[in-house]
Structure 1
């Protein structure tokens, strides 16, 4: 649009005026006019939240991987209440000596020191030394000291964090000491993942800056998104610490929040800054007009994109698992702060910087225009060959998606913890000395009157090797606790059948729990809620696109094609993480399944990212359709004006996600590969290929809406 097309001449005065800006345009002008206030508010906000941010990793919760309301969680609560904390959250300290048995003075001295060490911490309950026939190996050289849990699962993980080094330091004189159990597992697991996340983030920053400089061609323009992202990161980290005072937030929330703040912050800033550089050419003497034009077009797309991301992630809140819910909360909080910074701090900064946004430019950048000739030619090619391009993209995506039908999911095994972690060393020792199922004893809580019947029924259950005698409740209540030894490793898929059979064979009133049962109940909850989460995300995603684009057909197409990149990414995940292809190259041992929380959580994340790009592409195409009324112009110019931004944003996301493939623990490696592949496939095969080809095929019908629908929907325009 030429500069004069946005102007009108008053016939009475001859004065030149510009049309009134839209709501977001006026908001942008207000941010420029009150830039000092905007900067002041953000400085104050970052000082307050920044003061809390450094404690984020030590403050947040370490557990929460459970299905609230499940049978296994009820068992844990009852054992906490009635049996001296002998629950799945209890700490099991393995003591082993090759030359001395557990009853020897040397080992007993270590056991005494373990008891003394934990006695001063009120988060620990009763300490039970190794018991013959129950917690001492048949050869007598390995024993388990049980430290009861007197706090919730999150506090027990924190307690292990604080004491595990002191416990392992008790080893010596031929005696080995390894803290194990679920609380110790989550402690070592979170520590390994935290270290991996930090390393990956540090590696991704210089890669990101390089891509940004190449995309913008200007150090100033490239630096703005990074500063914006840092503001969002600091604010979200501090916000999570404060929110954790109200309700426990999983430490994993900050890991995902950091990733999304970096990726989406750069996405949004790319779109805004690129549009502003174009607007500044048309409004060189009026910075407020340039900002208004930017916010009325790109700002509107960013706002709608952010709302789409938030809606997609909000569906995860339906899953009754605290860790899963709070990971979603962490990302949503990061998106809110990044979106707030993009819509306030960024326009205020652009209004102050003005044409200096192009300062410190590389030689090629001085000739760079918002309308990319390269992507304009690509858009014209798609216009000439839409059917062949669409068919080729669909063929590749469907071929990659086919393996998803064989995908298996389960909760992580001990193999996700580094081999030198104390919890894994203790786990392996217990398994080798006491049997495959010894690290995952099942717990049975029942009325005392049914104790004998339960011993018989449990003993006859296939897959149960041994049942301990009933233990009366410490507080005198009418409950007994029994331990059942499975014949298989806790992560063995046969454990599902064993727990199911045990629950079916026991008398009414008996409850089965323990760490393996908690994992199985959580997996079942994730499986049960997955269809609901998918349905909610699809429906809300479609409605948001419908409101944004005012056209049902393209809203439906934009929603459906987003499923393709998700299915293809999970197909690749099946080939890599379940079947083990590229395992040697990526440096991991396949578990034979994908981590159980992956489908629900990754689906929401992938769909959110896919819809992010969908809004950018289709909002730009809609802007040009509103100007020209020509669907061909909308398709070609939509690609010409958004293609380079989508390509650069995708390159940043792929770089950020793929750095996590370098992590040693398996979960962040899974996350990085799956999200990186999803973004790569979505950007290359869908947003830059299939979707614009479908725009060409559907033509004017893509932007059509019945009159009754136009009356119902709020009026949203991307033109300026």
Structure 2
């Protein structure tokens, strides 16, 4: 592969205009295909295999108004609300697009709060409903103008309550330019990786639209794909540019430097992207369609930015010439001061045991709160009070009790339970201590099912909710389904907590096998997996402390403690494990290159950290700022993703790469590279570091 990449990089640099035109043609074809044949994002919130899904399907089959999207319109005033106000509001709500029915208002005992329930005739993921709350706002406008407080709750308004503003991308691009300019002292090195990453991301976005034509792609998937694609795109381009600059500084011509940078750093980029893809595709094992689309969409973005970097970096470096070097090097100055990373590596390798213990202690201490982590899919009660859905939640809880914000729907299937036994089912529900109210049964028009609604004594995110759902299912006879949003959330939390370990096992096993093949070692891959798990565990711990315990939550604009979203741990693991392996490949490629050349275990660690430390640090700093940019968004789940990933990348680039890796590799010495002979013969030979001696001579 080294010789192939060498020829490709050298050819693109020798013929930059042809290459650029070719890339533009390919990009234009992708854009044209996306425009002509691409689809639009479409969420699929069904949960195959969940017990609640059976009840939802029964409702959809037999009660047109049930099992679909809904909205709760909460009206509040300091005095009793006149019936005429609620009646006129109900008439306007009936005219909302896709409205199927509007229930009579539920009025609090003091008459100051009323809730009208609007049932739609289609699922909440329908394009006409998803993320569009304008029809409801128009319907309630005159009520608000009359001086009444009107807030919107329920699953349909929740899809638009905290829209993504796009600050993360803007903050990330601006920070990347500043960080690279400071780190490398060259405007070209600062701007080139960002330009390449954004170009690749644009192509990847067009690819995601083509994916949307073949499957339901979550509306949140492009955001995750952008978050990851922008970060890894800058990383890959930066690695290539920095290696190109090294070869230029050694006196190689521009086209030769381009070929050699692709043959060495380019191969690291290829294998690093493979580790990211393995992690992302592991999301398919989570058992939810939404996660699968996250994986596929992000994988398309990663492939797009990787191919764009491999193609455009040699071209743009040819155009830039020696401007990729810092100003002093362009003037012929010779750098005499040893890099800071080299001096740091020597300090760590002099007392490796002490540094290893210190680094491990810090990581374990940060990860400790994970033992108390509780997951729950985020509901309206966990959002900030700045959004209408949270205010609707609070008004409802204050007026009718916390259980009114998350009622439980009980569906009796008369194919299994006779209609005469519905009264017994209601009596069993009414006798339950954790239920404060049970509605009379309603039978479907076709007589196939009966439906009851029960209100718990506590809110849906309460830690007792999962136990309540389990108890109800155990007490009620077969053929009675416990469903609704709250039981569905309980099922999702349970499912993802178990599936997390399946995803971890798959991603770790395949990644270890790939690293074993690349670095010809058993110790290196296992150590890399343990350290990556430490980084992710520490990120989980920080999320638990901030969001669940409330430590410093106010700095993120959060006014209350909340459990960690069930969606976040698996998504963070899949993304971060791949990104951490990126840095592992970048660093270990340079270490192994020196090890094969000298056989000096400690010296190769110092050399590898010295050669790649600045690139890894700059790349990680960009990632941290990109992810923290997403932590400024209004949605709580996006905040968790942003903070969790920023924490993990920061710790990975500092504690892990700068302390634990050099310390443990120094302690292990030559055992780092131990591989049994029989396994060495069985594994295919892959030369990831791209030995420069195997390259063609300079012409």
Inter-CA distance 446–160: structure 2 relative to 1 (3 Å threshold)? farther
In 1, distance between residues paired with 2:543 and 2:378?
Answer: 15
2:157 match: 184
Q: Is the 8 A contact 2:381 2:394 kept in 1?
A: no
Deviation at 1:130, TM superposition (A): 1.0
Q: Is the 8 A contact 2:47 2:288 kept in 1?
A: yes
- Whether 2:24 is the aligned partner of 1:43: answer yes
2:554 match: 584
- Whether 2:681 is the aligned partner of 1:711: answer yes
1:417 match: 383
- Whether 2:84 is the aligned partner of 1:105: answer yes
Deviation at 1:101, TM superposition (A): 4.4
Give the secondary-structure state (helix, strand or coil) at the position aligned to 1:27: helix
In 1, distance between residues paired with 2:334 and 2:175?
Answer: 22
Deviation at 1:96, TM superposition (A): 4.5
- Whether 2:63 is the aligned partner of 1:83: answer yes
Q: Quick one: which of 153, 157, 165 aligns to 2:137?
A: 165
Q: Quick one: which of 212, 215, 236 aligns to 2:180?
A: 212
- Whether 2:342 is the aligned partner of 1:376: answer yes
Q: Write the mapping of 1:23-42 to structure 2, written as runs, cut at 5 A.
A: 23-32=4-13, 35-42=16-23
Q: Is the 8 A contact 2:130 2:159 kept in 1?
A: no
1:232 match: 200
Deviation at 1:80, TM superposition (A): 2.3
2:579 match: 609
Give the secondary-structure state (helix, strand or coil) at the position aligned to 1:178: strand
Give the secondary-structure state (helix, strand or coil) at the position aligned to 1:409: coil
2:118 match: 147
Residue deviations 1:613-641 (CA, integer Å, cap 9, x gap): 11111011111122223323321211111
Q: Quick one: which of 126, 129, 147 aligns to 2:103?
A: 129
1:570 match: 540
Q: Is the 8 A contact 1:458 1:505 kept in 2?
A: no
2:695 match: none
Deviation at 1:535, TM superposition (A): 0.8
- Whether 2:402 is the aligned partner of 1:432: answer no
Q: Quick one: which of 328, 331, 338 aligns to 2:298?
A: 331
- Whether 2:310 is the aligned partner of 1:343: answer yes
Residue deviations 1:242-296 (CA, integer Å, cap 9, x gap): 32232222222222222212211111111110101112234533x4332221111
Q: Is the 8 A contact 1:301 1:615 kept in 2?
A: yes
In 1, distance between residues paired with 2:276 and 2:666?
Answer: 27
Give the secondary-structure state (helix, strand or coil) at the position aligned to 1:147: strand
2:360 match: 394
Deviation at 1:531, TM superposition (A): 1.0
Inter-CA distance 661–180: structure 2 relative to 1 (3 Å threshold)? closer
In 1, distance between residues paired with 2:142 and 2:328?
Answer: 60
Residue deviations 1:333-377 (CA, integer Å, cap 9, x gap): 221111111222223333444334338x47899758799632222
Q: Is the 8 A contact 1:167 1:178 kept in 2?
A: no
Q: Is the 8 A contact 1:376 1:637 kept in 2?
A: yes
Deviation at 1:659, TM superposition (A): 2.9
The answer to which of 344-353 and 679-688 deviates more is 344-353
Q: Is the 8 A contact 1:88 1:182 kept in 2?
A: no
Inter-CA distance 592–442: structure 2 relative to 1 (3 Å threshold)? same
Inter-CA distance 569–105: structure 2 relative to 1 (3 Å threshold)? closer
Q: Is the 8 A contact 1:465 1:487 kept in 2?
A: yes
Deviation at 1:34, TM superposition (A): 5.5
Deviation at 1:48, TM superposition (A): 5.6
Inter-CA distance 667–371: structure 2 relative to 1 (3 Å threshold)? farther
Q: Is the 8 A contact 1:319 1:526 kept in 2?
A: yes
Deviation at 1:215, TM superposition (A): 1.8
Unaligned runs of 5+ in 2: 693-699
Unaligned runs of 5+ in 1: 1-19
Inter-CA distance 365–94: structure 2 relative to 1 (3 Å threshold)? farther
2:444 match: 473
In 1, distance between residues paired with 2:140 and 2:30?
Answer: 36
Inter-CA distance 364–395: structure 2 relative to 1 (3 Å threshold)? farther
2:244 match: 276
Q: Quote the RMSD (CA, aligned, Å).
A: 2.8
In 1, distance between residues paired with 2:204 and 2:335?
Answer: 34
Residue deviations 1:656-695 (CA, integer Å, cap 9, x gap): 2223343444323222222222112111111112112222
Q: Write the mapping of 1:11-22 to structure 2, written as runs, cut at 5 A.
A: 22=3
